[in-house]
Structure 1
């Protein structure tokens, strides 16, 4: 039996796509996952159970649930290495111990909290460290000679708060690993038993620059739990917001890469184009940050009836500015010289960590969640891809996606009428739902459980976990001076990672 059959052989639950397994069934599932290509989304715990979520198809989730036995469960990480980050998070927050896990070090708890395992039924005592955060290097890093350098939040830069502990010879990194947890905000606890509108607002603050993707996925999960779906026009408005967000974040990323590579003319051009788009959009949408415009049951814009005309103006701006920007990027000598060959992500890394989005597309993988989403069907078409998987390839994929998103905005404009999208009344019944959205860096997935008209629990999957593991895989052999460029080209986001 494959993993899907093993999961479906479990006991049915009140949720038709979630099945409860016993320990032997869970172990059989883990064994099968070692040879199975079933897409893994994530793992999380509540006070009594551990849950693993998979997506056999883009529209059909599948989850396995196992009751914790004395706070323990068999680990998934021997079969799916990416799950080690989720297992470490579950232990730090709930005290759920993954037996035979590949890595048992803390992920976000650095012994400075007021209580350990704060989401457990009985939280533990406060951590013992009140000063500097301690770091426990892995055996791999110790075997490479131990830590003799680092870069991160304590070294004075403005980069994302992920510390990189390194062993290096001369200027070349021989082994390195990332230390996260600095941006932990306790989202799991803040979501618990919250009002739906407050939970939606919080989802928009998980990852800067990806608010629309997170809020659309959250709203879809709530709507699925209620057995409802928004109308075609509201779905199309969400697409417009998501594509505008994609353009804005890609321009921000490309500007940062150009600045780091010494191409300040290109960086300023990216920033100027981004500013023009956001300044044009804000009066219609209601904000420049694109937060809080996707709500359960519909959308909320300042002037939704003007969105069609806005799309036409943005597309016109794109026709005026984008071709010259794309040509400048492709012909500017410093960019290819600095980014070419930098930080390659090969097929083995893609398979090991399950990364998707622009990182995978830059390595030759044909993966884009927009292909299967109904609202995108009249608009989406294949985005040009690259094959080398380097920082230069990733930048060119982002550049191509900006052009594609501008085209989609132009085509979406005439399809938007004057009904402002409409709203769907949600009964807020007890239940579970899953929502998914292709964000700027890959798929964003939400699982939401509703109870008594409130949000009982939320689990979120963000590309940040896979991006972090891909980043670590690119570090050996990298020049220390190129560390920031590699990290930015992979979209490593500490806030989304730490939760």
Structure 2
């Protein structure tokens, strides 16, 4: 039983149309802030995201979004300036442990401090920023005073006979985003892993505020190239809710079609890479071929291999012709046959299965403790999927069958990818079989008064969330985008415990978490 928005007194319901997620927003004091958090925890609800903001009048607020059984609860706490640069607010990490890094990022960006938090180490600020520089404060300045050297980071030390540390990254061998991993090991066995991220921070949230709200879908689409559809849809969903706009059924079907094609492309690529990490290069060759065929069809049907900027406010920038729909169905049939063959080959390869089975096990309890969602959680026995649980249009007409696997190891995450490819292929065929008529896009007139909206989309990695505040005149006051990797990175630290260091690349790839979408 998750939190029911109807239980929250004083909340204001945001208007929503078909294809949007119901949401309510409530302004609270500190006592209510903690009361709602405890209520959410007691009812096994989940903290989706936390972020800080500063209004044009200089008032700071701490924000939290909660997963409810009927939508999203957005809680806002006005914060008075105090001993910290932006004031402080009651710590939520004691209630939701995975709030720790979000709160550390809030301080680095806004100066808002979580009062009573145990871990207050910098997260995005690597020592390059001046001590009085907080990039999301409206009077932020001092760019010319950036430092070129990194500050030492106080990693947690593990003591004991035979314990030593192995430092990996942030620069890696190959084309990969930067991240530092500090292993504490005895022999080859991992006792502890601690991650250091934030190297890919690009100032995206400030860029939203410097871009017209009607054009920010292009910023959202570039947060993470492998999730461009999910982020741009979530942004457009929030913007359309803020503007009181309902898009056509045809546009919703097109958006879902693009989202499922993005899911399939990423799962195909990961399955090939996982085979390669287990010493099975044949799997990489074959699944890479299938992925290339898939994204070439994206270019043919929609004009972009990775589907960037295909989703726009009011609908989509592309339509689909009957002959193209036929080609897409035909490709689904062909890919499904070949993927089924590859799944049997993976299952029959004893060497591959020996590497997969038991490696990087994430139990259902640990996944729940860290609020993990998406494919990683479903591979640990959980079943939540925004498409299935909330059924936003058009998923109310093509019901999603959310699968799960209780094993929680690399083998389970591989199996979930194969299963989710099959389900996405089924959904694509179902969408194309009942494609509605109508326009692909409508004009969206920016709101003439300050307004808010939320977007929540089940991306291939998990749920992507956007909270948007717009002012009159097509101006973004604040836009916060949240990638599911925020919750899953800490869980990965636990999944590696007891494994050998040499298995980390395989375990890490089985999650394939986001650096850039996490850092913003």
Band of TM-score, shorter chain: over 0.9
Quick one: which of 312, 315, 318 aligns to 1:298? 315
User: Structure 1 132/157 Cα, relative in aligned 2: closer, same or farther at 3 Å?
Assistant: farther
User: Structure 1 74/133 Cα, relative in aligned 2: closer, same or farther at 3 Å?
Assistant: same
1:137 paired residue number: 155
2:20 paired residue number: none
Measure how far apart 1:340 and its partner are: 0.8
2:496 paired residue number: 475
Quick one: which of 394, 398, 402 aligns to 2:421? 402
Q: Secondary structure at the match of 1:394?
A: helix
Greater mean alpha carbon deviation, residues 284-293 or residues 362-371: 362-371
User: Structure 1 338/433 Cα, relative in aligned 2: closer, same or farther at 3 Å?
Assistant: same
Quick one: which of 39, 45, 67 aligns to 1:55? 67
Query: Structure 1, residues 335-362: CA drift from partner, whole Å, max 9, x if none?
Result: 2111110111112212211111111111
1:111 paired residue number: 127
User: Structure 1 307/460 Cα, relative in aligned 2: closer, same or farther at 3 Å?
Assistant: farther
Measure how far apart 1:62 and its partner are: 3.5
Aligned residues, how many? 496
User: Structure 1 460/147 Cα, relative in aligned 2: closer, same or farther at 3 Å?
Assistant: farther
Greater mean alpha carbon deviation, residues 67-76 or residues 111-120: 111-120
Q: Quick check: 2:383–2:402 contact (8 Å CA) kept in 1? A: no
Quick one: which of 435, 444, 447 aligns to 2:467? 447
Quick one: which of 37, 40, 55 aligns to 2:47? 40
Measure how far apart 1:255 and its partner are: 1.2
Measure how far apart 1:305 and its partner are: 6.0
Q: Quick check: 1:310–1:413 contact (8 Å CA) kept in 2? A: no
CA–CA distance in 2 between the matches of 1:332 and 1:204? 38
2:100 paired residue number: 84
Give 1:5-404 correspondences, 5 Å limit: 8-9=8-9, 17-47=24-54, 48-70=60-82, 71-113=87-129, 116-123=133-140, 130-138=148-156, 141-143=157-159, 148-301=165-318, 307-371=324-388, 372-404=391-423
Quick one: which of 428, 441, 449 aligns to 2:447? 428
1:484 corresponds to 2:501: no
Measure how far apart 1:21 and its partner are: 1.4
Measure how far apart 1:329 and its partner are: 2.2
1:437 corresponds to 2:457: yes
Q: Quick check: 2:254–2:319 contact (8 Å CA) kept in 1? A: no
User: Structure 1 198/260 Cα, relative in aligned 2: closer, same or farther at 3 Å?
Assistant: same
User: Structure 1 179/304 Cα, relative in aligned 2: closer, same or farther at 3 Å?
Assistant: farther
Structure 2: gaps (5+ residues): 16-22, 55-59
CA–CA distance in 2 between the matches of 1:464 and 1:260? 21
Measure how far apart 1:431 and its partner are: 0.6
Structure 1: gaps (5+ residues): none
Greater mean alpha carbon deviation, residues 26-35 or residues 181-190: 26-35
Q: Quick check: 1:305–1:420 contact (8 Å CA) kept in 2? A: no
1:493 paired residue number: 514
CA–CA distance in 2 between the matches of 1:302 and 1:144? 63
Measure how far apart 1:199 and its partner are: 1.4
CA–CA distance in 1 between the matches of 2:362 and 2:428? 31
CA RMSD of aligned residues (A): 2.6
CA–CA distance in 1 between the matches of 2:13 and 2:61? 13
Measure how far apart 1:267 and its partner are: 1.0
Measure how far apart 1:211 and its partner are: 0.7
User: Structure 1 279/125 Cα, relative in aligned 2: closer, same or farther at 3 Å?
Assistant: closer
Measure how far apart 1:117 and its partner are: 1.6
Measure how far apart 1:308 and its partner are: 2.3
User: Structure 1 128/183 Cα, relative in aligned 2: closer, same or farther at 3 Å?
Assistant: closer
Q: Quick check: 2:243–2:444 contact (8 Å CA) kept in 1? A: no
User: Structure 1 439/448 Cα, relative in aligned 2: closer, same or farther at 3 Å?
Assistant: same
User: Structure 1 472/124 Cα, relative in aligned 2: closer, same or farther at 3 Å?
Assistant: farther
CA–CA distance in 2 between the matches of 1:423 and 1:121? 34
